[in-house]
Chains A and B, each alone.
Chain A
Amino acid sequence: MTVLVAIKAVATVDEEFELADDGLDVAPEFVERELNEWDSYAVEAALRLRESGALDEEIVLVTVGDEDAEEALRAGLAMGADRAVRVWDDSLPGVLGPLAAARLLAAVAAEMSPSLVLCGAQSADAAYGATGVALAAYLKLPHAAVVRELSYSADAIEVTRELEGGLLQRLRLRTPAVLTVQTGINEPRYATLRAIKQAEAKELDLTDPASLGVAIGDLPEAVLDRVYVPAVEGAAEMLEGTPDEVAARIAEVVEREMAA
């Protein structure tokens, strides 16, 4: 049996950047990819379940992404996951929506019949918070989102979720189930150099939508029109001069705006 952890190689953007010529994303030279922070908590949760003896199963990472996503998979393998699967086809759009990603992840999960599926509660870049939930729907499995505590037994999982207003919610789910975890559920481990090196030798399979029986044209995909920096609304006025001059100008502006 398997614990499946779905992860994403999220984009981190330099402080200063430019948009790509097609207007659909930040230009690649300003982007770096890394393991989504929330997903590192999901990997850690899987490792801790195994280390506590609650379950003794292979931990498999899965992601949908191009070659640049492999570093994030390797990071999860270095933490202690056993192997990884990457789903990709060059005809997939560079920025994939959560439903399309979930559809492909579900196809991988269906082949493994995992006893538990873990995801991060959201991705740091797109932040839909939807992929894990959609994955549960495709798999027709019970799910809980934004989990901050969990305990596992052979037939049920108990989780604690955080609600607005400081309330906590305690749930019990039958297994298998899909959980999306919140940061703070644990403290993700740092991989040692030895673990990083060992991760380089771990199995990393590449598959594509066709092999999983998914037609790319059937993926539920919103069409991305453009990514842009919003026009600045309301003019910002930079005040220059000595502190006294600037103070005088601020007083003028305040009086003007109060009068308006």
Chain B
Amino acid sequence: MMTRGEAPADGPYAVLFEPVEVGPVTLRNRFYATPQCSGFGADRPHAQAYHRAMKAAGGFAVVHTEWCAIHPEADEWPAVTGRLWDEDDARNLGLMVEMVHAEGALAGVQLGFNGAHSENLETRRPARGITQVPSNTFHFHSCYEMTEAEIVELQGFYVEAALRAREVGFDVINVCANENAGIPLQFLMRAYNRRDDRYGGPFENRARFLLELLERLRGALGDSCALTVRLAVETHHDGDLGMRPEHEARRVIEMADDLVDLWDLEVTGRSMAEWGESAGPSRFHREGYQLAAVEKARSATAKPVVNVGRFVHPEAMVDAVRRGVIDLVGMARPGIADPFLPTKIRENRVDEIRECIGCNICISRYEQKATIVCTQNATIGEEYRRGWNPERFEPAADADRDVLVIGAGPAGMECALVLARRGMRRVHLVDRERELGGHLRWVTQLPGLGEWARVVDYRKIALAKLRNATFVPGTELSAADVLEYGAELVVVANGSSWARDGLNGFDHAPIRGADASLPHVLVPEQVMVEGKPVPDGPVLVYDCEGYYMAASLAERLAREGREVTFVTPFAEVAPYMDYTLEAIGMNRLLRGLGVALVPQHRVAEVAAGAVRGHHVHDEAADVEWPVAATVLCTQRVSDAHLFRTLEADPEGLEQAGIEGLYRIGDCFVPRIAAESVFEGHRLGREIDSPDPSEPLGFPRERLLV
């Protein structure tokens, strides 16, 4: 066996394991874990350290923190971000450095100061900015315009934060000039910089802040750390308002190249809210989608270049390196879905990689001011508090038991996989359908969601390798069948169905006339699975859920040439997609397809030929939509009958020798797939706990009085 990080002697991926010199430090291979939110900041040092160290254990050469505020004027609370305000913050991040080093990797930290984009909700300090213009991302929030003295003082904040980071052992100091966030980037862009002093106006002046900053950082750090810049080379602004790879980006790279050890180049959107262009969801962006822009700027530097782009296929990585576009393969999300991605490539276990599906649920939790989760990797964020390692499974204390898992959706597949890996005697995963996947079998047929099938593919391949796991297709079990089946442990994971009567969370009631047994009323399964025809003519899609289903169905119907009206009581279309950075793109897409978007409206009655409703805040404002068909995406209802029937028959369970009966996933509560996968995983990990239905507790990092 080779040791971690060591290069394979040959093979098609050998180039990925060549060491790369970055200024004074050497990266053991080309796998570069970029700054990534959300982590756990400086306030949860253990969770932070264990989370980041898992990527180091998985073979990454360098592992970064998330964005770390250098000063109380850049306070992102309650968003979970890092802080380097003082020595205590640095000390907390130091645990991460220690653990990353112990796994043979380098530790990087990102220095951030966002100007008007920092709300400073905890510190209540006014934020300094370049020009007094409010944030286009956080409402009703502006900044004060810095004097030249205050600009110099701000550069000093960076230097002090960098020295604090060096003091605790960080090897790579990264300056955030990306995603409209970092103030060095804002200085470069006319969109933010309307100054007419030596820091504004011509490009040389706008670049002055970054150049002076790098000089001061280099002077303070010397050759003790690598100094890197994460720079947006494309910001999609009109004209010369922002960054263009062949203009502003090339110029600043040429001007600063001597001061920088590595450029982390990226593409982003016009506002901070549009960082979905940087962390591109699979709905809109393919693997390696940033390379074309990066390539235009790349030749301006003699230094190593890294770029993200949701790389999961080693062939794509090798190609990008061989073509000379990048020297290091940047990864945030692919390393969340599989922290051991480098190791699996090195050991030629490519089919064991849990490939990122680009759903951006990881990012959704940052946007919701929470900590990280992942649809593919249930262990992410649980490294410390639950002690989970995605590649390690302890033999179960009750491994002599046979398990029946009913339902092969995300929850059932994951639970069966974990239980099989924990060595249960036999695990039978039973589904009424012929194929694994549950609702993902058809959700992945929706436009733009094809990559979500990786959730199924990974588990299908992994289950097929386990001798104690059997997939039993085409079998629907009644409660009596379950009692007869012969398992000691029964896990019900049979999912949920869309309400066929319009029941929804806005009315807390069904909708008059909404009956999916009628030809002109449909629910998603009828459209996608059952082949129920959508009557000819205009279609109304009604969304009370706010995530992908209604929007995707509207897209699909519009692409089929249908006239589509999208009605939702929410203030905007698909608000949950704000969290996943898909909302802006989805709104643009639906508008482009000619879908009539009608937010803030409630449907009161569905009739043949017409749907009637009104404005959510004005019931007198009646609207009638003359449509031939209505697709109801109002809510999902758990298929709870099987579990409840079994639960209500304790004698039957006992006679059948069933010691444990559990429910996971949507049949418990319909949620995002990531929560279903987590729940299946959690039950598998804790199947031998005193009461597996009740999650074990976990340590919370908090101050005790």
Contact = CB atoms under 8 A, between A and B. Distances in A.
Interface in A127-171: none
A242 B319 contact: yes
Contacts of A194: 484-486
B319 A192 contact: no
Interface residues of A, number: 13
Interface string A186-221: 010010111111000000000000000000000000
Chain B contact-residue range equals: 10 to 19
Contacts of A193: 402, 404, 426, 428, 485-487
B322 A240 contact: yes
A241 interface: yes
Nearest to B477: A192
Nearest to A244: B323
Given A32-B467, A190-B470, A190-B472, A196 B426 contact: yes
A150 B108 CA distance: 70
Given A190-B470, A242-B319, A242-B322, A197 B475 contact: no
A59 to B, nearest CB: 20
A241 B404 contact: no
Tell which of A192, A240, A241, A242 has the most Cβ of chain B within 10 Å: A192
Contacts of A192: 428, 484-486
Given A32-B467, A190-B475, A197 B322 contact: no
A241 B323 CA distance: 7
A250 to B, nearest CB: 16
Contacts of B486: 192-197
A242 B470 contact: no
Interface string A69-110: 000000000000000000000000000000000000000000
A241 B472 contact: no
B680 to A, nearest CB: 19
Contacts of B484: 192, 194
Nearest to B425: A193
A240 B428 CA distance: 45
A196 B467 CA distance: 14
Q: Which of B467, B475, B484, B486 has the most CB of A within 10 A?
A: B486
A242 B426 contact: no
Most chain B beta carbons < 10 A, residue from A190, A193, A195, A197:
A193
24 contacts: A32-B467, A187-B474, A190-B428, A190-B470, A190-B475, A192-B428, A192-B484, A192-B485, A192-B486, A193-B404, A193-B426, A193-B485, A193-B486, A193-B487, A194-B486, A195-B486, A196-B426, A196-B486, A197-B402, A197-B486, A241-B322, A242-B319, A242-B322, A242-B323
Interface of A: 32, 187, 190, 192-197, 240-243
Interface of B: 319, 322-323, 402, 404, 426, 428, 467, 470, 472, 474-475, 484-487
Given A193-B486, A195-B486, A196-B486, 19 more contacts: A187-B474, A190-B428, A190-B472, A190-B475, A192-B484, A192-B485, A193-B402, A193-B428, A193-B485, A193-B487, A194-B485, A194-B486, A196-B426, A197-B402, A197-B486, A240-B322, A242-B322, A242-B323, A243-B319
